[in-house]
Structure 1
Amino acid sequence: MAAVDIREYDPSRDRAGTEAVDRECDVGPTGGMSLHADLLGDPVARIRHSPDYLMLVAETLGPGGRIIVGIIRGTVKSVATGKSCPGAHAVASVGYILGLRVAPSHRRMGLALRLVQRLEQWFERMGAEYAYMATDKSNEASLRLFTVRCGYSKFRTPSLLVHPVHAHRLRVPRRAAVFRLGARDAERLYNARFAHVEFFPADIGAVLGNQLSIGTFLAVIDDGSDGRREWRGAERFLACPPASWALASLWDCGGVFRLELRGASRLRRAAAAATRALDRAARWMRVPSVPDFFRPFSGWFAYGLAGDGPDASIAAEALFATFVNMARGRAAAVAVEVAACDPLRRRIPHWRRLSCTEDLWCMKRLGGIEESDGWDWSRSPPGFSIFVDPREV
């Protein structure tokens, strides 16, 4: 077996090889089908919006010369740890691992482990205190690699909720009024409400101002006392917030990659097409139609979901229904990821077959660094909220 070298990705000569590995490694098996992601010809598309990023490739000698047989991507950023005690380390530098792929011909040779270790070394050089990754809890190979061989611990189990986009509109609760916020007001609200929420990025302004960020929206519930409020700016909102509200932003994942569900039978494709045709012809019937997931499609991601008040979950429902309605003709599905114990998730509309009720995040401390007070974020209990950075979706 030829030796395998690991080096940094070179866009001038590695694009075709990395695309080939990505194509061989479809993810998300569902009833005999697999989900394929196309990065639109840019292998670093999923990480180049982050402040610091790196892509590594594993290369070996093949019959026709040097070939790429493995890839891994990673980013480093500063985030809130969820610890708000006076004098505590409320912010940490973390490395995020995503896009680990090994060609089927070179699996079970320790290559994935080598890729992870090389990326962790870069994390440490960049000053990262922790490394984390996300995977499906049913991905046994990935879990064995990270928890058994790489020393990661199971950390959080957020839920990924997905709703398809139909020809008809979803109903928005009548008690809810939805406002679109300017970037400055959005940043002000997020900094005020998310200062100590886990994984809240220090560069939130860059996220909200990114070209892929569609906008930030606020839903307010009419409680019958003062009617629906008008948006009068972040300062007034923070000084006297409504009784129940919810906040979230939208990200266009279609600007980075397209998805495609492969392996569907002709019968399943025909049945899905029939639901779409009926939905278009008779929208008043509100047919739960299935978008054409069997061709490349784009999706939107709702991030930064927050809220407060006895009817905050209704406000969250209004936001998500509004997002799905906005996506008609522009995306095939809208998704949001929320903490397992977040009360806002109760009324968010979603399809169970498209969603993942228990995603799995794993984390470990890097370099044997010890906090002065002995606190270890990777072993801390979960909070009610979590901020999912759309740049890492």
Structure 2
Amino acid sequence: MSTVVPVPATVEDGWPAVAVREFDAAADLAAVERLERACEVGPSSGKLCLFTDLLGDPLCRVRHSPAYLMLVAEAPAGGDIVGVVRGCVKTVACGRFCSSSKVAYLLGLRVAPAHRRRGVGRGLVARMEDWFRQAGAHYAYVATDRDNEPCVRLFTARCGYAKFRAPSVLVHPVFRHDLANHPPHPAIAVLRVPPRDAERLYRARFSGVEFFPTDIDAVLANPLSLGTFLAVPAAAAAAEWRGADAFLAAPPASWAVASVWNCKDAFRLEVRGAPRLWRALARATRAADRALSRLRILRVPSVPNLFEPFGMHFLYGLGGDGPAAPAMARALCRHAHDLARRAGARVVATELAESDPIISGVPHWPRLGAQDLWCIKRLADGYGDGALGDWTKAPPGDSIFVDPREF
């Protein structure tokens, strides 16, 4: 059960004269929506970015976590909401550093344009970190676009965070036609895995991967999780599925696994700042696709309409083993594309570590993706430090787990 911990409405010494308090949905929803619309979110030059409309639920990106909180900054004159931030706390794996640690994720920091450079953002972050410590978190991290210099500067130069990991966001548009069998790949089969077997596979495959959530069972059981899929050689798929333990005891030479998360019912995305030529070319591809598909001549890789709010599916837990694992991952991505097409989503996205060997098999359009930057801060000493000391100084591994609840 998610928990919301109240925070006293006091002002820290040294911070500007704004009251930082817990978000009240009944009183603050309209004001927060206005603030979100007033803020530029993400890059504005033809890249994928968060749309300000969170479908009426400002907590949608944290409410599925074990513990979460949303804070607002209220100006004393008139009581206007001038800032907002969200946070959640969970227990995750720390890779080769140690077995696990309680960490906090900070996201959705927004400050009204007229109140920027006045310390409002730092005040919200500091108050959220107070709650993180109360909730027992020992590290806090935040993800931002690597090119978002003001945000990177705020966290690294003013809030004490250190640059930590730089995973890649890979995005593929959803075409008007299926991809799984075009061209066909008779050597690979994709199986749907029951949730309990999916949990067993993930714990076996990812238990030592950084940021793997210990409550993966709750993630897989969430209604937004649309299923887990396993790519194996077609010959192995012909045998009867005997469960995850039997599979892990004698796995095929190569395989891959991934799950699909439905983001389209939580928030909308859009591509902003695209030149008119791009829009015209995208319309032309869709027209050609419609015409040629009716004639059964050719399936054109048409560009969906990304220049107005649209929905997305997120592929999480993508990983595998063996020399053909990238090819298996490609089969899973094509399968996820077809699921998204039938559900009405216009893109499929995933996020992987730069050095993950499976990344070579993930189809994506570089112009739609982004290079994330994860920054981390140590909040408490003496817990989860293992033999290596401070996790913030641990070298990166080949893989990273991106929790779909916070994407």
CA contact (8 A) 1:27 1:34 kept: no
2:219 corresponds to 1:181: no
- Using the TM superposition, give the Cα deviation of residue 359 of structure 1 relative to its aligned residue in structure 2, in angstroms: 1.4
Q: TM-score, normalised by structure 1?
A: 0.92
Q: By how many angstroms is 1:18 displaced?
A: 0.7
Structure 1, unaligned runs of 5 or more: none
CA contact (8 A) 1:179 1:231 kept: no
Aligned to 2:174: 165
Q: State the Cα distance separating 1:279 from its structure 2 match.
A: 1.3
1:95 maps to which residue? 104
2:305 maps to 1:292: yes
Aligned CA distance change for structure 1 residues 383 and 299 (closer, same or farther; 3 Å): same
- Choose which of 308, 328, 337 in structure 1 pairs with 2:341: 328
2:65 to 37, 45, 50: 50
SS at match of 1:285: coil
Pairing 1:40–2:52 present: no
1:198-253 deviation digits (Å, cap 9, x = unpaired): 1111111110000100000000135x7x6855433112101100110000000000
Q: Secondary structure at the match of 2:52?
A: strand
Q: Report whether the alignment pairs 1:104 with 2:116.
A: no
Shift of 1:175: 1.6
Deviation at 1:277, TM superposition (A): 1.9
Contact 2:19 2:76 in 1 (8 A): no
Match of 1:127 among 130, 133, 136: 136
Task: Say which of 332, 353, 356 aligns to 1:339.
Answer: 353
Does residue 29 in structure 1 map to residue 39 in structure 2?
no
Residue 288 of structure 1 and its aligned partner are, at CA, apart by 2.5
Instruction: State whether residues 158 and 338 of structure 1, in contact with CA within 8 Å, keep that contact through their aligned partners in structure 2.
Output: yes
How many residues matched? 383
Q: Alignment partner of 2:336: what SS?
A: helix
Letter in 2 for 1:27: V
Q: How does 1:170-319 map to 2 (within 5 A)?
A: 170=179, 171=182, 173-222=185-234, 229-264=239-274, 266-283=276-293, 284-319=297-332
Is 1:60–2:60 an aligned residue pair? no
Residue identity opposite 1:343 in structure 2: P
Q: Quick check: which one's strand share is greater?
A: 1
Q: Secondary structure at the match of 1:353?
A: helix
Gaps of 5+ in 2: 1-15
Q: Deviations for 1:72-96, whole angstroms, at most 9, x for unmatched residues?
A: 0000000011137xxxx41100000
Distance in 1 (CA, whole Å) between partners of 2:169 and 2:46 is 21
Moved more, 321-330 or 29-38: 29-38
Q: Which one of the candidate residues 359, 364, 386 is aligned to 2:372? A: 359
User: Cα 1:46–1:262, aligned 2, differ >3 Å: closer, same or farther?
Assistant: same
CA gap of 1:169–1:238, structure 2 versus 1, over 3 A, is same
What does the per-residue CA deviation read over 1:153-186, in whole Å, with 9 as the maximum and x for residues that have no partner? 1111111110000012223533210000111110
Of 152-161 and 25-34, more deviation after overlay is shown by: 25-34
Structure 2: distance between partners of 1:230 and 1:317? 24
C-alpha distance in 1, partners of 2:312/2:216?
A: 22
Contact 2:209 2:401 (C-alpha < 8 Å) held by counterparts = yes
Q: Residue 362 of structure 1 aligns to which amino acid in structure 2?
A: C
Secondary structure of the corresponding residue to residue 41 of structure 1 = coil
Distance 1:106-1:32 versus aligned 2 partners, 3 A rule: farther
Equivalent in 124, 144, 149 of residue 153 of structure 2? 144
Deviates more, 1:45-54 or 1:253-262: 253-262
The answer to whether the Cα contact below 8 Å between 1:97 and 1:132 also exists between their aligned partners in 2 is yes
Q: TM-score, normalised by structure 2?
A: 0.89
Question: Residue 220 of structure 1 contacts residue 228 of structure 1 at CA under 8 Å; is this kept in 2?
Answer: no
Greater Cα shift, 166-175 or 234-243: 166-175
1:90–1:34 distance in 2 versus 1, CA, 3 Å: closer
Which amino acid in the other structure matches residue 369 of structure 2?
S
8 Å Cα contact 1:214/1:249 also seen in 2:
yes
Distance 1:180 1:38 in 2: 33
In the alignment, what sits opposite 1:116?
Answer: 125
1:261 CA drift (Å): 2.8
The 8 Å contact of residues 286 and 302 in structure 2, kept in 1 or not, is answered as yes
Deviations along 1:338-382, one digit per CA (max 9) or x if unpaired, are 1111100012100010112x3111111103447364511111011
> 1:205 and 1:33, CA in 2 relative to 1: closer, same or farther beyond 3 A?
closer
AA aligned opposite 1:219: A
Name the CA shift for 1:45/1:372 in 2 (closer, same or farther; >3 Å): closer
Q: Partner amino acid for 1:190?
A: Y
Counterpart contact for 2:388–2:394, Cα < 8 Å: no
Cα distance, 1:46 vs. partner?
1.0
- Tell me the C-alpha RMSD between the 2 structures: 1.9
**Judging changes above 3 Å, is the alpha-carbon distance between structure 1 residues 309 and 265 closer, same or farther for their aligned structure 2 residues?**
closer
Q: Structure 1 residue 148: deviation in Å?
A: 1.1
Q: Percent identity?
A: 56
User: C-alpha separation between the residues in 2 aligned to 1:125 and 1:313?
Assistant: 42
